[in-house]
Structure 1
Amino acid sequence: MTPTDAAHLKTLEDRLLWLSHWMIHHANHIRPKEDGIKVGGHQASSASMVSIMTALYFSALKPADRVAVKPHASPIFHAMQYLMGNQTLDKMKNFRGFGGVQSYPSRTKDVDDVDYSTGSVGLGVAITAFGSIVQDYISAKSWGNDLTLGRNVALVGDAELDEGNVYEALQEGWKNDLRNCWWIIDYNRQSLDGVVREGLFERIEKIFEAFGWNVIRVKYGALQRAAFLEAGGEALRAWIDACPNQQYSALTYQGGAVWRKRLMDDLGDQGAVTALIEKRSDDDLAALMENLGGNCVSTMADVFASVTDDRPTCFLAYTIKGWGTPIAGHKDNHGGLMTKNQMADWQKRMGVPDGEEWDKFATVADTAGLQNFLDKTPFFAEGLRRYSDDVLPVPAIALSSDREISTQMAFGKILDDLSKGDSDLAERIVTMSPDVTGTTNLGPWVNRRKLFARKAQADAFIEHRIPSTAKWEFTPDGQHIELGIAEMNLFLLLGAAGLSHSLFGKRLIPIGTLYDPFVVRGLDALNYACYQDARFMVVGTPSGVTLAPEGGAHQSIGTPLIGMSQDGLAAFEPAFADELATIMEWAFGYLQRDGAGDPDERTWLRDETGGSVYLRLSTNPVEQPGKRPDEDWRQGAIDGAYWLRKPGPNCEVVIAYQGAIAPEAIRAAGAIAEHRRDIGVLAVTSADRLNAGWTAAQRARAHGQFEAMSHVERLMQTLPRHCKLVTVIDGHPATLSWLGSVHGHQTIPLGVEHFGQTGTINDLYRHFGIEADSIIGKINGLTPGRSMAVSRNEPQ
C-alpha cells in the first residue's frame, strides 16, 4: 500500500466515523419526535468497526465478494454507501424512521447495496458459510462454471459467538470442504450487559482450528508495534497482554492521565519504560493504548492483503467499543448515546464546521485525490451488484396416483418424474435435508441426480455390491446436499441458495425437506430467509398426529399457524396427490416471480411479487378422488380452497377440512347427508392464502374499493345464515376457526391442541375428536333430536 493510499484510508475512516455518529445523533437529538421515545442506533458498536470496515471495503474486497455486516455496524455501512452515492441524504436524515435507512442492513428495505440482511444475531454470520457452499455448487455445474468466485465475508460481533447456530454452521462447513469464507470478529470484549469473560476466545479459537480454519489474531496497531520496538516496549506489551478486559475498558473511558498513572503504578520507575511513557502527552498516550489492531486501518488493510489462499479464515481483531468517541470503553455504551454537549465537543475535535455535518467531504483537504481513490476502489467499480437470471420454464406436472397414496409419497413421485426428464427446471433444482432424505421421500430423486461434493466420493456399498435402496454417490454434478441434524443449517442453506439468482446471477430452485414438527427448531432461520426474500420450497413431512406411533415429540400441532403467520411464505396442506401436483407446478413459477406488489383483484393476493412455499405433507395414505368431473378444483387448490361437495341452497352444515384428515370429513358428510339438507364439504388446501386474500380484501374495502371480494368470500357467499360450519384439521383448530367470521356463520372448530401420544392413527383421531364419529357428534349437538353415526368400515 502506498503512503497516499494509506492516507486516503485514514481520511475515509474519519469520515465514516463522523457521518455514522452524526446520523444517529440527528435521529435522537435533532429530528423532531412524535412520541418522545429514544430512537437508538449503537454509536459505540459502530465505532469499534469503523477501521475494519474501511480497510475491508476500500482495500481488500472485490466485486464478487459478498458481505454480511454486523447488525450494530449498520450506520457505518450506510455512511459508506452514502459516500459512494448509493444512499440518499433524505434517507440518512430519516435513519430508523418510516421509509428511512433501516436499523440493520436489509436487502429488501434499504436502497443501497446490502448483500445479506442481518439483525437476528448469529444468522448473518452463519449464512456466509452457506453462501460459499452455494457458490461452489454453482461453479461445479456446466451451466455455472463461468462464475467468478468471491469470498463470503461476515463482520461479527464477539458476543454473536454465544449463538449456537454459529457452531452448527462451522461443523457443516467442515463436512462440505468450506472455502472462500472470512469471519472478521470485532473483539471489543463488551456485550449488551457486560464485558466478555477472560480467556473465552482462547477456547473459541481452538474450535475454529479444529474445523480447519486459519485463525489470525490482530491485536496491536501500528503505533503499538512501533512502541514495542522502543526501549521498554516489551514490558509495555507484557502489561497490555496481562491487563483484564474490564480494566482495559475502564482505563480507556477515563483517558490519558489515568492511563499514565496506572501504567506508572503497575510498572514503576523502570527507566526505559518510564521514558517511553513520559515522552508522550496524555492524548498521545491514550492514542497509543487505544491503538489496538482492529482500530488501526493500515494494520487491518495489511492483514487482509496477506491472505491469498481460499482457506476459511477467522480474523480476531481486537478493538475498543466506542473507539475515537467520548463514550469509548464505558461498559454501558452498547445502547448509549453521546449527549448534545459531548457531541458538540467531539464535533470540534473532529474539525467539522457547523452547517457541514452532512457534507461528504467536510474536513477533507484533497477532495479531488480522495474522489479519485473512491472511483478506483475495486469493490465499488462495477456499481450495485444485484444480479438476475432468466425465469425457467415449468414443465407440466401430472401424477397418475395409486388408489391410495400419501402426499409424502406423491411428492417423492413428482420429484422422481422430474429427475427422469431433461428440463432446465430439473437441472436447477437443488434438494437438501437434515439427515432425513430417505424418510421424507427424496430417495428416488437423489439416486438419479446424486449428491453434491466438490470432489467425487465412492459409495463403499456399491463397490462391495451390497444391496441398498440408497445409492449414495457424491459428485460435483450432484443435485442434493446432505446436511447433519441441524434444522437451522437447513434454513440458512435454503436462504443462501434461494438468493443465488441475485447474489451470483444463477438461478437455483432449492427444495428442503424436514420432519414437520422440527420446523420450529429452525424457525429463526426460516424467518431470516424469508426476510431476505430468498426463494425456496420447504416440505414439512410427516406432520400432525398421523405420525401416530412416534408420540408427541414427533407430532406437529402449531405448524399450520406458522405457515399462516410467516411473511414471504405461501403455506399449503393438500390432501390429494392431484392437488399436490397442481400446487407444485404453480409453486415452481411462484418462486421465480419478481413483479409488482399490487394485489390480484380476483383473489386480492400479491402473487406477482412471488415468494417461498411451504408444503405440509403426511405419511397417511388417502384414497384418491379419481378423475374429477370438472377442472374448477385446480384453480381453487392454488387459491386455497374449493368445493369438494357443493352445498345446496338450503345447506344446514358445511364441513371444512385441511390436509390428511380429508377421509374423516368425507365419511362424516356421507353419513349425515340423509339427515341434513344440502350439506357441503369445503376442501381447504391453504388456510394461509384464504386468510391473506380475505384480510387484503377487507383493507381494500376500507379504502373505498367496495367491490373487492376475496376467494373465500365468493366461495361462501351463497351459504344461508343459519348454516353451521364444522372445521377439522390434524393441527391446531385456530387454523380454520376464523372461517365463520367471513360471513358470520356459527363455527365448531376441531383439531389438536395438546401434545399427542403413541398409538394408531385411529386411536389418536378418536382421542382428539377429529375422526368421523366425533365430527358427527359435534353436528348432532347443533340440533338436539337428530343423531346419526358412521362405522369406519361402512362404504360411503
Structure 2
Amino acid sequence: MTTHAEIKTLEELERTIRWLACWTIHNANHLREKDVVKVGGHQASCASMTAIMAALYFKVLRPEDRVAVKPHASPVFHAIQYLAGNQTREALEAFRGYGGAQSYPSRTKDRDDVDFSTGSVGLGVAITAFASMIQDYITAKSWGTEQQLGRMIALVGDAELDEGNVYECLQEGWKHDLRNCWWIIDYNRQSLDGVVQEGLWERIEAIFGAFGWDVVKIKYGALQRAAFEEPGGEALRTWIDACPNQLYSALCYQGGAAWRARLQDEIGDQGDVSALLERRSDEELGALMANLGGHCVGTLLETFQSIDHDRPTCFLAYTIKGWGTPLAGHKDNHAGLMTVSQMREFQADMGVAEGVEWEPYAGIADKAAAEGMMASAPFFSQGTRRYKAPVLEAGDTIWLEDRELSTQAGFGKILDQIAKSDSQLSDRLLTMSPDVTVSTNLGPWVNRRGLFAREASADTFRVEKIPSTQKWSFGPDGQHIELGIAEMNLFLLLGAAGLSHSLFKERLIPVGTVYDPFVARGLDALNYACYQDARFIIAGTPSGVTLAPEGGAHQSIGSQLIGISQDGLTSFEPAFLDELSVILNWSFDYLQRDGDSDPDERTWLRDETGGSVYLRLTTRPIEQPRSRRDDPAFQQGVIDGAYWWRPPGPNTELVIAYQGCLAPEAIEAAGRIANDRRDIAVLALTSADRLGAGWFAAQRARRRGNSNASCHVERLLGAVPKHATIISVTDGHPATLGWLGAVQGHRQVPLGVEHFGQTGTVDDLYRHFGLDADAIVSAAQNLMPGRPIRGLSSVV
C-alpha cells in the first residue's frame, strides 16, 4: 500500500521530470547556439505524460518489464534515465544536437536504457504485443531460461490510434491469445493539427473490448473524486462528462477565473454547485478542473497496482496537453515552445533556482526522500537491461543436388534439411509468414517442426484421416508462427523476435517469408525493425516479372532498390542453388555478429557489425551448374557480391552482368555473341547491395587519405579493358545495376523492368521487357555495329 508520504515524494519527482524535460527543450531552442532550422521538442506532449511515467518508472515497473515510450515524450524518458544515472547532463544539453539525446527514444542512437525505439507513430505501440508473443514463445521452450514474465507496455499518444497497424496488431494478438501487454493511452484529445474527435473513448472501449482487452478508464483525479462526494458534486461530474474536448482544453488554457465564469453560468444557479465553487479560490478551482486521472499519481498508482491478471489491458488516461505549463490546453501547443518569459514564470512555479537548472533534484523540498525512492525503484534495481546471448553455431553448408530447381524451392529444401537435424540452430530457428506459408515453400519445415501456440491443438484433417500435404498441428513446441495477411505485422514480429537476445537473454534465428512485391506494404515496419538493429532473415518470394502468370499486381519492380537502400539490411539475389546455400549459411552467422564498425579493408564492408538479411528469390526452375562449386574463392565471391562466370581477357569488348534468375539468358547471349566476338565476359552478381556498399565505402576511405583503398567491384572491373562495354540485366529496375559502368568508367547499357507487368508466360514477359537472350544480343549489336552478330537471329 502506498503511503501519503510516498505519494507526496512521487509528486515531487513528477515535478522534477516535468521541469527537466521542459528545460532540456528550452535549452536546445533558446540557449544553445542557433541553427538555421528550428530544433523543436514538444514541451506540451511531454507534460501530459509526466505523472503517468513517474508512477510507472518510480513505483510500478519491474526489471523484467519493457516499455515503448510515446515518441514525443522522449525528453521525459531521458530525464528519468538522468535521475537513474543512465543518462548524462552532456547528452541532455545536446538534446536534438549532434551526439546528444535523441528526439525520439532510440535503441541504437541513445546511450540510455531504451527498450523499443519509437518515432514512426503506432509502430512502437504494436511491437509490444509482438514482443509479448515472443516472450511466450521463449517461455514455452525447453531451452527457455526460467524468468519472471514481464509486461510489454506501450505509452500511447491518442493520435497514434489513427494508425492502421495498431488495429492489424489487435486482431493478431487476439488470434494468438495475447497476454502481459499494457497500452496506456495519453488521452489528451489533441493531435498535431487539432483536437481529437468527440466520443473517441467509446470507439476505443468497443474496439479493444471486441478483441478481448480489458479497458480501464482513468478519468478523474483524487481532487475531482473528492469534489464529487460534496453536495453539488454529481452535477459537476455530469458537466465534466458532457463538456466538449475543445471547450475543456480552452478553459484549461484560460485558467481558474474562466472555469468559474463558465461553471457559474451553466450549472451555478443550483445552490449546492455554487457553494462548491465558492469554497475554492480561482487557483484551487483551476487545479480541481485540471486534476484528471492521468495527472494524479495517487490515482494512477492505485489503478496500475489493482491489475492482478495477465490479460491485455488498455488504460485510457485522461490528460491535458501541456499540463502544468503555460501551454496547457492551447490548441497550438503541439509544437509550441514556451517563450523566455514563460519559462521564467514556469521555473519560479517549479521552485528551481537560477543556476541549478540541471541539478537532478532541483526544486524538491525533501531531496533525501526523493533519492530514497529512486534508489528503491524496482525497475532500476538490477541495472540496465541490454542483454547478450551466446552465439549459435551455423553448422556446415547444406548443398542441394537438384539438376533443375528454383531458388524459392531450394530455400524450402534447405530449411527442411535443417528441420531434420538436431542442433542449436534448428531448435532456435523460428519461421513466420503472413498467410503465405505454403506458397513460399515453408511447408516442409512446418510439417516437421509444427506451428506455435501456447495451447496444443490437433490437426483436424489428420485426425479425420483426410489426405493433406500440410500437417498443421499447433503446440508449445512449434517453431512457426502463422500470421494473418498483414505485412506490417510480419515485420513487427520479425523485429520483436530479432531483439530476443537483447530483450529476453535468449537468441532466436527469425526467418520470415513474404511475396516480394508486398515487402513494400510493410516497409515502414521493416525500416523500424532495422533501425532497432533487430536481426532476422526475410525472403521475398516469388519475385519479379518472372512470376509471369500472376500479373503485374504480384510482380515486383523496385524491391531490389529497397534492399540496396535499407540500412541494417544486406540483400542478396542468388541465381543458383549453390549460391543460395553459401548465402544462407553465412547469413545465420551474420545475424549474430556484434563487433565493431570498422570496415574490412579487403571489401570495405562492416561485416563484423552484423545485421539482417533480405533474400530475393524466384519460382523459375533453372538448370544448375554441372558440378558443385564449393571452393573457397567461389564462396567468397558469392558473399562479396559477385564473381566471374566467364572471366575477361585482354581483348574483352563486352561484359554481360546479371543478377538473379536471368542467368540463363545472360549466359546464352554470351555464348551466341562469342561466335563473332572474342573474350565476352560474364559477371554473376549475387548482391548489388554489397558490391555498391563496398564501392561507396572505398571511395570514402580514399577521400579520407587512404589512397590504396580498393573494393571488390573495383578489382573485378579493373580487369576489364577501358574500351569494353557493360550490358547489365536483371528482373527488376535497371537502376539496380545501372551504376556498374561508373566504377571504372565503362560504357554501360542497363536492361531491366520499369513498368508494371501483365500475365503471360515467362518467355512472353522476358521478350516484352527486353530481358531475353535476343534482347541482350541486340543490345550488343547496337553497341558494336562494325560486324554483324550472327547469333542475333537464333531462336532462344
- TM bracket, shorter-chain basis: over 0.9
Q: Does 1:623 align with 2:623?
A: yes
In the aligned structure 2, how far is the partner of 1:221 from the partner of 1:631?
69
Q: Deviations over 1:93-130 (max 9, x none)?
A: 00000100000000000000000000000000000000
Percent identity, please.
69
The aligned amino acid for 1:286 is G
In the aligned structure 1, how far is the partner of 2:292 from the partner of 2:501?
40
Q: Does 1:345 align with 2:362?
A: no
Q: Does 1:749 align with 2:750?
A: yes
Q: Where does 1:522-671 land on structure 2 (aligned, <5 Å)?
A: 522-627=522-627, 631-671=632-672
Q: Give the TM-score of the pair, scaled to structure 2.
A: 0.99
Q: Deviations over 1:362-384 (max 9, x none)?
A: 12222222212111110000010
- 1:503 maps to 503
The aligned amino acid for 2:270 is Q
- Cα pair 2:659 2:685 within 8 Å, conserved: yes
- Cα pair 1:141 1:476 within 8 Å, conserved: yes
In the aligned structure 1, how far is the partner of 2:749 from the partner of 2:471?
49
- Cα pair 2:179 2:311 within 8 Å, conserved: yes
Count of residues paired in the alignment: 793
- 1:681 maps to 682
- 2:142 maps to 142
- 1:354 maps to 354
The aligned amino acid for 1:12 is L
- 1:480 maps to 480
3-state SS of paired residue (1:698): helix
- 1:793 offset after TM fit, Å? 6.3
- Cα pair 2:400 2:410 within 8 Å, conserved: no
In the aligned structure 2, how far is the partner of 1:609 from the partner of 1:788?
50
Q: Deviations over 1:502-541 (max 9, x none)?
A: 0000000000001000000000000000000000000000
More displaced 10-residue stretch of structure 1: 309-318 or 668-677: 668-677
3-state SS of paired residue (1:586): helix
- 1:786 maps to 788
- 1:331 maps to 331
Q: Where does 1:52-67 land on structure 2 (aligned, <5 Å)?
A: 52-67=52-67
- 1:128 maps to 128
The aligned amino acid for 1:702 is R
- Cα pair 1:401 1:410 within 8 Å, conserved: no
Q: Deviations over 1:421-446 (max 9, x none)?
A: 00101100000000000000000000
- 1:115 maps to 115
- 2:704 maps to 703
- Cα pair 2:434 2:486 within 8 Å, conserved: yes
- 1:401 offset after TM fit, Å? 2.7
Q: Does 1:418 align with 2:418?
A: yes
- 2:373 maps to 373
In the aligned structure 1, how far is the partner of 2:789 from the partner of 2:756?
31
In the aligned structure 2, how far is the partner of 1:369 from the partner of 1:204?
39
The aligned amino acid for 1:110 is D
- 2:9 maps to 8
User: RMSD across aligned C-alpha pairs, in angstroms?
Assistant: 1.0
In the aligned structure 1, how far is the partner of 2:537 from the partner of 2:398?
19
In the aligned structure 1, how far is the partner of 2:572 from the partner of 2:776?
23
- Cα pair 1:407 1:574 within 8 Å, conserved: yes
3-state SS of paired residue (1:737): coil
Q: Where does 1:208-287 land on structure 2 (aligned, <5 Å)?
A: 208-287=208-287
- Cα pair 2:451 2:480 within 8 Å, conserved: yes
Q: Give the TM-score of the pair, scaled to structure 1.
A: 0.99
More displaced 10-residue stretch of structure 1: 264-273 or 169-178: 264-273
- 1:145 offset after TM fit, Å? 4.8
Moved over 6 A (4+): 791-794
- 1:268 offset after TM fit, Å? 3.0
- Cα pair 2:208 2:215 within 8 Å, conserved: yes
- 1:581 offset after TM fit, Å? 0.3
- 1:631 offset after TM fit, Å? 4.4
- 1:151 maps to 151
3-state SS of paired residue (1:125): helix
Task: Could you tell me which runs of 5 or more consecutive residues in structure 1 were left unpaired when the two chains were aligned.
Answer: none
- Cα pair 2:544 2:732 within 8 Å, conserved: yes
Q: Deviations over 1:191-240 (max 9, x none)?
A: 00000111122112101000000000010000000000011100000000
- Cα pair 2:568 2:612 within 8 Å, conserved: yes
In the aligned structure 1, how far is the partner of 2:319 from the partner of 2:794?
70
In the aligned structure 1, how far is the partner of 2:790 from the partner of 2:391?
54
In the aligned structure 2, how far is the partner of 1:142 from the partner of 1:148?
16
- Cα pair 1:776 1:788 within 8 Å, conserved: no
- Cα pair 1:165 1:489 within 8 Å, conserved: yes
The aligned amino acid for 1:789 is G
- Cα pair 2:145 2:506 within 8 Å, conserved: no
The aligned amino acid for 1:28 is N
3-state SS of paired residue (2:702): helix
Q: Deviations over 1:380-428 (max 9, x none)?
A: 0001011111000111122233111100010001000000000101100
- Cα pair 2:778 2:792 within 8 Å, conserved: no
Q: Where does 1:69-88 land on structure 2 (aligned, <5 Å)?
A: 69-88=69-88
- 1:761 maps to 762
